[in-house]
Amino acid sequence: MTSIQESLPFKLGVLRPGMAAEVIGLNLNQAIDDGLHQIILETFYKFPVLVFRDQTLDKRSQIDFSEGFGALEGHVNRDFRSDGFPAVHEVSNLDLNTGKPTAKLENRGNYHWHTDKSYLLTPSLATLLHAVTLPPEGGDTQFAHMGEAYDALSNEKKDEIASLRMVHSWEQTRIKSGSKLATAQEIEDAPPVVHPLVRTHPETGRKCLYIGTHASHAADMVRGVGEALLEELQIFATQDRFVYSHIWRPGDLVMWDNRCLLHRATESYDMAKHVRLMHRTVVRGDAPV
Ligand SMILES: [Fe+2]
């Protein structure tokens, strides 16, 4: 760790070894040159949850920083508000009609373990979430490391799942999570896709489980058997020993790697009383292999 710190132009604090670290002393409103960008990327490969502390980014600045990692995504769910910046999704517990906080959210998917946009052929590489308004306490985001979970499987289980493919479906996610059902337009925009159950991280070469709530069943198995296998893997892979829970501070911008993590929001605050508003940008990745 010491050698990593000595070569960095910011202070790096480990939050969870091999998984999460905080970056202190870097102002993301300033232009990030190629050299610094490369240093951030290399740090990101070591810590797939990177917490940039004390940021005051407006939407334009968040887009500029995020685009340094690749093309940005829109969202299949057209309910996300954007105020002229469609690449920035406002994620909140605000009622779209009244503008007031509510515990009765139409989109429940964020509260289930998932990897962003795995219902697309080219799912998300990274997601960047900037805390704009936080409740007094709670509203943590949890991450589970799918490389660590894969490594912990028995050799027999690894052999069993090595060549399996899973169907991922936005329509199924909406049903399973008790959310407002997908519209015909959303289903047309995001038809079911198939991804390997075990994917290899393109930068680190690490094998990772690729599961989560968008996965519905195995493409090559009897449906009930494939669903049971998915459930078994999901319970195994989200044990506390693989999880980092992020307690948000004002100004945090958290960037995470969807290729090797599951994540979920938690309802650990009074959602009918307090506002939690985050600005999200999503960097498109490659098809998992
Ligand atoms: Fe998400």
Using DSSP, state whether 287 is helix, strand or coil.
coil
CA of 155 to the centre of ligand 1 (A): 30
pLDDT in tens, 96-137: 888 899 888 767 778 899 999 999 999 999 999 999 999 999
What's the pLDDT score for residue 144?
98
Average of per-residue pLDDT across 220-245: 94
Report the separation in Å between the CA atom of 151 and the middle of ligand 1, taken as the mean of its atom positions: 24
Radius of gyration of the chain (CA): 19
* Mean pLDDT, range 34-55, rounded to an integer: 96
Banded pLDDT at 1 (limits 50, 70, 90):
very low
Domain boundaries, the chain: 2-284
Distance 24 CA to ligand 1 centre (A): 24
CA of 31 to the centre of ligand 1 (A): 27
Q: Which two tokens stand for residue 183?
A: 């519209």
Whole-number Å distance, alpha carbon 156 to ligand 1 midpoint, is 31
Q: Tell me what pLDDT residue 77 has.
A: 55
| Share of residues in the chain with pLDDT > 90 (%) | 71
Distance 19 CA to ligand 1 centre (A): 17
CA distance linking residue 154 with residue 158, whole number of Å = 6
Determine contact, residues 119/193, Cβ cutoff 8 Å: yes
The pLDDT assigned to 80 comes to 53
- How many angstroms is it from 217 CA to the middle of ligand 1? 20
Model confidence pLDDT, tens digit, residues 54-80: 999 999 999 999 999 999 987 655 545
**Separation of 110 CA from ligand 1 center, angstroms?**
5
Owner of token pair 């319970």: 235
- Give the distance (Å) from ligand 1 centre to CA of residue 7: 32
Q: What is the pLDDT of residue 74?
A: 73
pLDDT digits (tens, 9 = 90+) for 130-183: 999 999 999 999 999 999 999 999 999 999 999 999 999 988 888 877 778 888
Q: pLDDT tens digits, residue range 18-40?
A: 999 999 999 999 888 889 999 99
Cβ neighbours around 37 below 10 Å, total: 14
Q: Is the pLDDT of residue 90 over 70?
A: yes
Q: What whole-number percentage of the chain has pLDDT above 70?
A: 95
The three-class DSSP label of residue 20 is: strand
Do 183 and 205 meet the contact criterion of CB atoms below 8 Å apart?
Answer: no
Q: What is the mean pLDDT of residues 43-56?
A: 97
d(CA 237, ligand 1 centre) in Å: 17
Q: Give distance in angstroms: CA of 116 to centre of ligand 1.
A: 5
CA 288 to chain centre: 15
Q: Cα(114) to centroid of ligand 1, in Å?
A: 6
Query: What is the predicted pLDDT for the residue at 220?
Result: 86
Residue 2 has pLDDT above 60, yes or no: no
- Which residues partner with 136 through β-bridges? none
CATH architecture under which domain 2-284 falls? 4-Layer Sandwich (3.60)
Q: Count how many Cα atoms sit within 13 Å of the Cα of residue 53 in the half-sphere of its side chain.
A: 15
